[in-house]
Amino acid sequence: MASTVSAVNDYKHIDVKPLSGVLGAEISGLDLREHLPAEVVAEVRAAFLEHLVIFFRDQSLDPQQFVRFAARFGAIDAHHVLRGMDEAPEVLEIIREPTDQYVFAPGWHADVTWQTRPAMGALLYGVEVPEVGGDTVFANQYLAYDALSSGMQALLGRLDAVHSAAGTYGDRAEIMTKPELMKVDREQAVKGRSVHPVVRTHPETGRKALFVHCGYTVSLDDMTVAESKPLLDFLFDHTTRPEFTARFRWRPGSIAFWDNRCSLHAPVDDYFGKRRRTWRITLRGDVPR
């Protein structure tokens, strides 16, 4: 499948400034409270596909405006385990208080890959962020795949991997997730489990990307955890090599919108003693292939 991504010089309605040489770009010149014309939405989506994660600065949205903007890019998929805001159930409010010991969703991961249909993408809005600290890092999984030898690519192309929610919502749930955020009991939450290809073909760009991560990938399909560990450990290290990554520094009113099909992300836990409040919306994806 040929790529549908536009070249940077094709943008006529938005300003696109790359964040790094490997992924990420800031888009300026838009007020996301307004109704965006279809041609503007199309260019934003093209930038999203080209750069894997895009960022907007200095926005001032209420939850309903945030939902309306996100819905221009796909069907919203409310989190299957965690409770949304009362005034906007599609929006997950994530608050870290100054005394909290752990960040939400620590470590490198793609979102909800334990679902049969993992997210297409997610949007995170920084409502209240520390003056310093609390950055997010992103990793390009196209490049991670491309950097492998042809032999390793051939091997991985024949493998599937098991993704499970048990580690996040099982024994570690009390320290990983605040009880008031849970909308199902732990016994139900830990049942989330799916099998996906180790190498995923992106449904819009046609490019191949690695689709494993230490957040939810627990083993290779039809192998034990012990048998899977050497190869998965290699891949977990490989997928987050510095040359595949970029780092985003938050300001109040910033939005990050990442492609969950071809990128990983991780929060930087360097702001203990400070408050951070964000809103997240997840967009429904397709069954990986």
C-alpha to C-alpha distance for 283 and 35, rounded to whole angstroms: 19
φ, ψ of residue 281 to 5 degrees: the values are -125, 135
111 is catalytic: yes
233 is catalytic: no
Is residue 273 within 8 Å of residue 160, measured between CB atoms? no
The one catalytic residue among 79, 207, 213, 265: 265
User: Which of the 8 DSSP states describes residue 286?
Assistant: P
Alpha-carbon Rg for the chain, nearest whole angstrom, is: 18
238 is catalytic: no
The one catalytic residue among 109, 196, 213, 276: 109
The one catalytic residue among 111, 200, 213, 259: 111
Buried b (16+ CB within 10 A) or exposed e, 91-119: bbbbebeeeeeebbbbbbbbbbbbbeebb
CA 260 from centroid of its chain's CA atoms: 4
Question: For residue 199, which of 255, 155, 243 has the smallest C-alpha distance?
Answer: 155
35 is catalytic: no
Which residues, in sequence order, are CB contacts of 230 under 8 Å at separation 6+? none
User: Annotated catalytic sites, by residue?
Assistant: 109, 111, 265, 280
